[in-house]
Amino acid sequence: MGRNETGSVGFIGLGTMGREMARNLIKAGHRVTVYDVLDEAVTVLAAEGAKPAASPAEAAADADIVITMLPDTPQVEDVVYGEDGLLAAPPRGRLIVDMSTISPVAVRRMHADLKATGTDFVDAPVSGGPIGAKTATLTIMAGGEAAAFARAEPFFRGMGTTITHVGAPGAGQAVKLCNQLICSINIQAVCEAIALGRACGVDLEQMRSVLLGGSAASWMLDKLGPAMIAGDAGAGFRIDLMLKDLRLVQEQAQALSVPLPGTALVTSQYIEARAHGEGGNGNQALFRVYDRMTNRA
Amino acid sequence: MGRNETGSVGFIGLGTMGREMARNLIKAGHRVTVYDVLDEAVTVLAAEGAKPAASPAEAAADADIVITMLPDTPQVEDVVYGEDGLLAAPPRGRLIVDMSTISPVAVRRMHADLKATGTDFVDAPVSGGPIGAKTATLTIMAGGEAAAFARAEPFFRGMGTTITHVGAPGAGQAVKLCNQLICSINIQAVCEAIALGRACGVDLEQMRSVLLGGSAASWMLDKLGPAMIAGDAGAGFRIDLMLKDLRLVQEQAQALSVPLPGTALVTSQYIEARAHGEGGNGNQALFRVYDRMTNRA
């Protein structure tokens, strides 16, 4: 498939992220067949021009590429290894791209198992969240063989803007996990500054503005700072999804003997937030851990 | 003094930062009298157009404003309360501005003591480091009364670009300490991502570039990331100076009953770096703590 040609996509996983990505592939002119464990998610996309499928195998049958966007490692493994799965029934184009955030160890195993049967596998997790998914501005970090990446790239262009081949199978997940650990620690940093600044009685919005101009600047201070200052623990990338990613970070770090004390600490704070019922709130709700610590909750 | 007028400055403390700030005040057209405990520092500036003084009182005598830029709280207290100090011998203009990073508690005490004798005190710590000092692009965070800030502002404009009155006496120090705690935690985040990414075998410079485009972006990833990736523990804002600032953060946090677990952890890592002889290295040398933890040192 050439740079501007369109193709046939099997898309599996139509949650908050996946349904927007599938929509953008349709908009980009690809023929998209969709599958999800929830029938109604399939029905919604079918009404928008997708072809419905009743199993991963059926979504794959006529596809140049199958793309999966699922909650966690077991769901991706199920789609690959399960009954009516992709290992037994690969897409016609022999290319599977998983865009979920899952275990790099599982990625390497699936890559090897699929390779042995003649199917390419690319791990291509994303950052940018639901808004990036909706506006087709995701950052896509892809690991896998160069030829497989090249075949997947025209499809990536329908979903994201910054698309990088970061290395061998599993490298996409590795970079994504590094992204997530930095995000969580940077959020903690903003929480601590706001907790201290508030106790000192300074104007927090003005402080944020001053700090954004210098060495303390971060995406998190910029984007999540206002909600933290306002005490708004509502929507956004959810605490429980970050906690899932932090679990993957720690599994990977343990497998490779890399101590990560900062990540360990912030993970325990995320667990505390979830224990207090904030799993469904956005990541800025980590500041509530500080509210409780300072007896302000 | 109006917005574009020049005045007479007593400048005390001619270290790495202070000497550049004094030079910029001379360039801005102010009449600058300088004092430092090291005679040779005074001699250097005298050769560049400053008037030498033999004591804080002498530097202050004919000045509209005295500016201090000193290593830590005791040195500033010494200049204010000591023999030939500013409490007994205030500047003619009755305005003292301390631009060091020191204890907010000490600031409020000096403000009160000087106020009682009719002298205004402004705390105006800076960020931007030696390069910001040299190029007159410092970020200046000032606490104090509005009228005192207004009198100091024309002098600030000779040294910095982002100048903000952040609140009451001590507020400048409070914002600066929040800046420093975010910086240290953001550095830790970059260290952990590099440690994990390296163990995963990804191209670290490419990873940094990808992460800078998304939610993990920070000034520290941008500016200190390259030196960490290169294993360069050389020049920059020194580990031991950050450790001094982190001590002030923890003193303030303890005084106000604000637990800061992330800051406590990163402080212990800075202590470890210093214990291994890295106090004189730049902050990026924190990655050496991770080198030792992963048996790469």
pLDDT tens-place string over residues A163-206: 999 999 999 999 999 999 999 999 999 999 999 999 999 999 99
Q: Give A235 to chain B, closest Cα distance, Å.
A: 16
B182–A193 C-beta distance less than 8 A: yes
pLDDT at residue number B234: 86
B200–A104 C-beta distance less than 8 A: yes
pLDDT at residue number B92: 97
Query: What distance in Å separates the CA atoms of residue B25 and residue B120, rounded to the nearest whole number?
Result: 20
pLDDT tens-place string over residues A47-91: 999 999 999 999 999 999 999 999 999 999 999 999 999 999 999
With contact defined as beta carbons under 8 Å apart, do A166 and B203 qualify?
yes
Q: What is the mean pLDDT of chain B?
A: 96
B210–A175 C-beta distance less than 8 A: yes
Q: In the predicted model, is pLDDT for residue B165 greater than 80?
A: yes
In this prediction, residue B32 has a pLDDT band, given cuts at 50, 70 and 90, of very high
pLDDT tens-place string over residues A212-240: 999 999 999 999 999 999 999 988 889 99
pLDDT at residue number A234: 86
Chain A touched by B186 (CB under 8 Å): yes
pLDDT at residue number B129: 87
pLDDT at residue number A62: 93
Q: Give B183 to chain A, closest Cα distance, Å.
A: 5
Distance between first and last Cα of chain B:
56
- Residue with the two structure tokens 């523990």: B233
CA dihedral A280, A282, A284, A288 (to 10 degrees): -20
Best mutation target among B127, B186, B246, B267 (most A Cβ atoms within 10 Å) is B186
Query: What distance in Å separates the CA atoms of residue B207 and residue A178, rounded to the nearest whole number?
Result: 9
Considering only CB atoms, B174 lies closest to which of A179, A189, A197, namely A197
Q: In the predicted model, is pLDDT for residue A2 greater than 60?
A: no
In this prediction, residue B4 has a pLDDT band, given cuts at 50, 70 and 90, of low
Residue of chain B nearest A248, judged by CA positions: B196
B104: Cα separation from own chain's centroid:
13
Query: What distance in Å separates the CA atoms of residue B25 and residue B45, rounded to the nearest whole number?
Result: 12
Give B230's contacts (C-beta < 8 A, 6+ positions apart). Answer: none
Assessment of whether the complete model's pTM goes beyond 0.90: yes
Chain A touched by B250 (CB under 8 Å): no
Residue of chain B nearest A179, judged by CA positions: B216
Q: Which residues in chain B belong to E strands, given as ranges?
A: 8-12, 31-35, 51-52, 65-68, 95-98, 120-123, 126-127, 138-143, 160-167
A201–B175 C-beta distance less than 8 A: no
pLDDT at residue number B168: 95
Considering only CB atoms, A166 lies closest to which of B162, B191, B207, namely B207
Average pLDDT on B91-110 reads 96
Considering only CB atoms, A218 lies closest to which of B164, B219, B223, namely B219
Q: In the predicted model, is pLDDT for residue A149 greater than 60?
A: yes
Q: State the number of CA atoms in the 13 A half-sphere of B166 facing the CB.
A: 34
- Least confident range from A140-154, B194-208, B223-237: namely B223-237
pLDDT tens-place string over residues A9-45: 999 999 999 999 999 999 999 999 999 999 999 999 9
pLDDT at residue number B190: 98
Chain A touched by B146 (CB under 8 Å): no
Nearest CA to A74 among A283, A262, A248? Answer: A248
Average pLDDT on A279-285 reads 95
Q: In the predicted model, is pLDDT for residue A106 greater than 80?
A: yes
Chain A neighbors of B189, CB-CB under 8 A:
181-182, 185-186, 189, 262
In this prediction, residue A5 has a pLDDT band, given cuts at 50, 70 and 90, of confident
pLDDT at residue number B235: 81
Q: In the predicted model, is pLDDT for residue A4 greater than 80?
A: no
Q: Give A40 to chain B, closest Cα distance, Å.
A: 32
Q: In the predicted model, is pLDDT for residue A1 greater than 60?
A: no
A218–B217 C-beta distance less than 8 A: yes
A263–B175 C-beta distance less than 8 A: no
Chain A neighbors of B206, CB-CB under 8 A:
164, 166-167
pLDDT tens-place string over residues A111-122: 999 999 999 999
pLDDT tens-place string over residues B193-207: 999 999 999 999 999
Q: In the predicted model, is pLDDT for residue B62 greater than 70?
A: yes
Query: What distance in Å separates the CA atoms of residue B179 and residue B160, rounded to the nearest whole number?
Result: 17
The pair phi, psi for residue A224, each rounded to 5°, is -95, -20
Average pLDDT on B181-197 reads 98
